[in-house]
Amino acid sequence: MIKVLLVDDQQILAEGIKSVLQTCKDIEVTGIALDGAQAVEFCREKNPDVVLMDIRMPNMNGVVATKRIKETSPDTKIIILTTFDDSDYILSAINNGASGYLLKDIGSGALIDAVKNAYAGDTILPAKIAKKITDAAVMVTSDKEYKLKKLYNLSDREAEIALMLYDGFTNRQIASALKLSDGTARNYISAIYMKLGAESRADAMEKIKGMN
């Protein structure tokens, strides 16, 4: 049984999501929190398997709540519920441990599948959101990307992936966002380490951070 916490300041919406999820015999909604602070406290006490987290809420938003939940309950999978214009939050939530994103207009069957897939360890990234992640990473880090190409002779794609690593993306999240196989993503990352002269991810991050 997959234990799910719903976090949304609009209780009527949360109740609707609960009704949808509980049509699946493998899912149990164990609670509803109306803001991030309630969600953090609930997770500390009940340790749910999956959290469906709204992003814009009073008291504590979904990004901050995600960070705090992952600090105390690292195995809990958190899926951010977002609207298409929430791009400012996307990279922050990934950095803080979110397993993915769902748009609030998602269908019932897709919602149930997303909860099951997140519980199994998959990254949940609808195509629109994946594109926003890629676009945001390129926009925010264009200066570092130029320096990586110039100093270390990285290709366009290698520089893009290097900066996604720097922003905290996991290998799987990089593969999903850029529509690469896991093996191809790993090959790019190995090539990046070689060109940077890095022995590990931490070493590579230090070299990128230290670029002038």
Are 118 and 124 in contact by the 8 Å Cβ rule? The answer is yes
Residues 146, 109 share a domain: no
Beta-strand (E) ranges in 24-76? Answer: 27-33, 50-54
> Given this model, what pLDDT does residue 141 score?
56
Q: How far apart are the first and last CA of the chain?
A: 51
What values do phi and psi take at 124, rounded to 5?
A: -105, 105
Q: Residue 74: pLDDT above 70?
A: yes
Q: Which residues contact 142 (CB under 8 A, 6 or more apart)?
A: none
Residues 87, 35 share a domain: yes
* CATH code, domain carrying 199: 1.10.10.10
Q: Which residues contact 107 (CB under 8 A, 6 or more apart)?
A: none
Sheet containing 50-54, strands listed edge to edge, beginning at the edge strand earlier in sequence = 27-33, 2-7, 50-54, 77-82, 100-103
Smallest Cα–Cα separation from 54: which of 15, 26, 82, 88? 82
The predicted-structure confidence for 102-155, as pLDDT tens digits, reads as follows: 888 899 999 999 999 999 999 888 777 777 666 665 565 567 788 888 889 999
Residue 114 lies in a domain: yes
Smallest Cα–Cα separation from 10: which of 35, 30, 29? 35
What values do phi and psi take at 113, rounded to 5?
A: -60, -40
Out of 79, 96, 126, a domain closes at: 126
- Number of domains composing the chain: 2
* CATH code, domain carrying 33: 3.40.50.2300
What values do phi and psi take at 118, rounded to 5?
A: -65, -45
Q: pTM for this structure?
A: 0.65
The predicted-structure confidence for 21-53, as pLDDT tens digits, reads as follows: 999 999 999 999 999 999 999 999 999 999 999
Stretch among 60-64, 90-94, 122-126, 167-171 having the lowest mean pLDDT: 90-94
Out of 74, 100, 126, a domain closes at: 126
DSSP label at residue 80: E
Count of all residues that appear for the chain in the document: 212
Q: What range does the domain containing 43 cover?
A: 2-126
